[in-house]
């Protein structure tokens, strides 16, 4: 039974640590934030979707079953979600969609995943469909990224948005599929993000190249994923594949070191881990830029004990950990874990 309307909200995310590990069957420790995307869906009764991006004052419309890639931008997400939900055998009814966002676009805080997840939840709720569990729903969203937007991204952002918990980060094991909440007790410490000013589209940055380098490393070593990598194998890899693989191996270890540090309440150690993660992303994984370095430096100069690039890199926001008594620097925003994606009405 179709409903007359449904509203869904999906948050963006900050990844505490564990970057470029998701598509390598590794570990990550993200949390959902308060900012995100809201989609209000009204049933139209007809076999078409009409979408309004309220913040941009732009529209799109298409017939269900006749979605085609647009020249780019937000429309591909709407068309892709509609097509991929149907391809997965899920119901999609004609709808008028109003889309509003409070998370900066293309800035490393997962505006894309928030949009995909909110669209999926609103459309599924409008059709009164059964709840789709996080992993399959995240895979549908990632097909939108991969096939419609051209970004070969993993499942980190969608899972963080779907599974977010107030007061907790999520240790996600992309090999076993196990997601474990990790309570984020910061006391007087604060996490802040600062916009480097550099914008990226994962489809156009070096993101896809990094993913392909990891696949090449696996092929050269005869392993299914970098999760199987042993340090002794690194010598067999040519540059820069050895550096990429080393980053992934060490970053996985840093995720569990961060979980341990949080359990002990050792936030200085968490800061040191953020620093090591950033150095590795800059020097081994090569996803930093001068704008990112300047933003990291700005947070350190303001008193952060750890700062690093987050998300795919090549621009976007940086994350910093401020010890007690250090004021949030100008332009930076405090972030804390918030609840995951949800249907807001009916």
Supply the DSSP string of 242-266, one letter for each residue.
HHHHHHHHHHHHHHHHHHHHHHHT-
- Identity of the residue, 312 or 315, whose beta carbon is nearer to ligand GLA in the bound complex: 312
Structure tokens at 255: 């995720």
Stretch that binds ligand GLA, among 73-81, 154-162, 177-185, 217-225 (CB under 6 A): 154-162
User: Nearest distance from residue 233's CB to ligand GLA, in Å?
Assistant: 22
User: Nearest distance from residue 19's CB to ligand GLA, in Å?
Assistant: 4
List the catalytic residue out of 157, 256, 260, 345.
157
**Interface map 199-218 toward ligand GLA (x if CB under 6 A):** ---x----------------
* Among 88, 77, 90, CA closest to 117: 77
* Among 254, 253, 231, CA closest to 242: 231
Show contacts with ligand GLA in window 302-341 (CB under 6 A): 311-312
Residue 206: phi and psi, rounded to 5, are -80, 10
- Identity of the residue, 22 or 195, whose beta carbon is nearer to ligand GLA in the bound complex: 22
Contact between 134 and ligand GLA (CB under 6 A)? no
Number of separate helices (H) and strands (E) present in the chain = 8, 13
User: Nearest distance from residue 72's CB to ligand GLA, in Å?
Assistant: 17
Show contacts with ligand GLA in window 267-286 (CB under 6 A): none
What distance in Å separates the CA atoms of residue 223 and residue 163, rounded to the nearest whole number? 30
- Identity of the residue, 7 or 21, whose beta carbon is nearer to ligand GLA in the bound complex: 21
What distance in Å separates the CA atoms of residue 276 and residue 271, rounded to the nearest whole number? 9
Q: Is 130 a catalytic residue?
A: no
- Identity of the residue, 19 or 60, whose beta carbon is nearer to ligand GLA in the bound complex: 19
Q: Are strands 48-53 and 95-101 parallel, antiparallel or unpaired?
A: parallel
User: Nearest distance from residue 63's CB to ligand GLA, in Å?
Assistant: 29
User: Nearest distance from residue 203's CB to ligand GLA, in Å?
Assistant: 11
Show contacts with ligand GLA in window 4-63 (CB under 6 A): 15, 19-20, 22-23
Residue 180 three-state SS: strand
Candidates 111, 127, 153, 277: give the one binding ligand GLA (CB under 6 A): 153
CB atoms within 10 A of CB 301: 10
What distance in Å separates the CA atoms of residue 339 and residue 320, rounded to the nearest whole number? 21
Residue 24: phi and psi, rounded to 5, are -110, 25
Candidates 134, 154, 306, 337: give the one binding ligand GLA (CB under 6 A): 154
Residue 245: phi and psi, rounded to 5, are -65, -40
What distance in Å separates the CA atoms of residue 119 and residue 82, rounded to the nearest whole number? 8
* End-to-end alpha carbon distance in the chain: 13
User: Nearest distance from residue 297's CB to ligand GLA, in Å?
Assistant: 22
Residue 253 three-state SS: helix
Q: With CB under 6 A as the rule, give the number of residues binding ligand GLA.
A: 12
- Identity of the residue, 23 or 62, whose beta carbon is nearer to ligand GLA in the bound complex: 23
Q: Is residue 172 within a helix (H) or strand (E), and if so which, with residue range?
A: strand 168-173
User: Nearest distance from residue 146's CB to ligand GLA, in Å?
Assistant: 10
- Identity of the residue, 49 or 162, whose beta carbon is nearer to ligand GLA in the bound complex: 162
- Identity of the residue, 311 or 338, whose beta carbon is nearer to ligand GLA in the bound complex: 311
CA angle 312, 194, 305 (to 5 degrees): 95
CB atoms within 10 A of CB 157: 32
Residues that bind ligand GLA (CB under 6 A): 15, 19-20, 22-23, 153-154, 156-157, 202, 311-312
Instruction: Please identify every residue annotated as catalytic.
Output: 157
């Amino acid at each position: 039974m179709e409903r007359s309307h449904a509203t869904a909200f999906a948050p963006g995310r900050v990844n505490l640590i564990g970057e470029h590990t998701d598509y390598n069957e590794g570990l990550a420790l993200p949390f959902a934030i308060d900012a995100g995307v809201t989609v209000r869906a009204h049933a139209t009764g007809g076999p078409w979707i009409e979408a309004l991006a309220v913040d941009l004052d732009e529209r799109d419309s298409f017939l269900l079953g006749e979605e085609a890639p647009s020249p780019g931008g937000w429309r591909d997400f709407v068309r892709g979600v509609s097509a991929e939900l149907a391809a997965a055998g899920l119901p999609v009814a004609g709808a008028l969609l109003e889309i509003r966002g409070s998370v900066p676009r293309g800035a490393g805080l997962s505006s894309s995943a928030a949009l995909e997840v909110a669209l999926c939840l609103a459309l599924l709720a409008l059709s009164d469909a059964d709840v789709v569990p996080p992993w399959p729903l995240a895979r549908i969203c990632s097909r939108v990224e991969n096939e419609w937007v051209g970004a070969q991204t993993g499942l980190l952002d969608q899972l963080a948005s779907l599974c977010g918990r107030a007061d907790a980060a999520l240790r996600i094991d992309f090999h076993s599929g196990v997601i474990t909440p990790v309570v984020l007790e910061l006391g007087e410490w604060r996490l802040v993000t600062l916009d480097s000013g550099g914008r990226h589209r994962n489809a156009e940055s070096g993101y896809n190249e990094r993913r392909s380098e990891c696949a090449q490393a696996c092929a050269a070593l005869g392993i299914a994923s970098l999760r199987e990598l042993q340090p002794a194998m690194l010598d067999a890899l040519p540059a820069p594949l050895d550096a990429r693989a080393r980053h992934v191996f060490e970053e996985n270890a840093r995720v569990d070191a961060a979980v341990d540090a949080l359990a002990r309440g050792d936030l200085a150690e968490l800061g040191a881990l953020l620093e090591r993660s950033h150095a590795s992303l800059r020097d081994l994984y090569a996803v930093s830029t001068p704008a990112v370095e300047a933003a990291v430096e700005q947070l350190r100069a303001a008193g952060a004990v750890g700062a690093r690039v987050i998300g795919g890199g090549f621009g976007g926001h940086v994350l910093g950990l401020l010890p007690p008594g250090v004021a949030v620097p100008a332009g930076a925003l405090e972030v804390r874990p918030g609840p995951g994606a949800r249907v807001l009405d009916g």
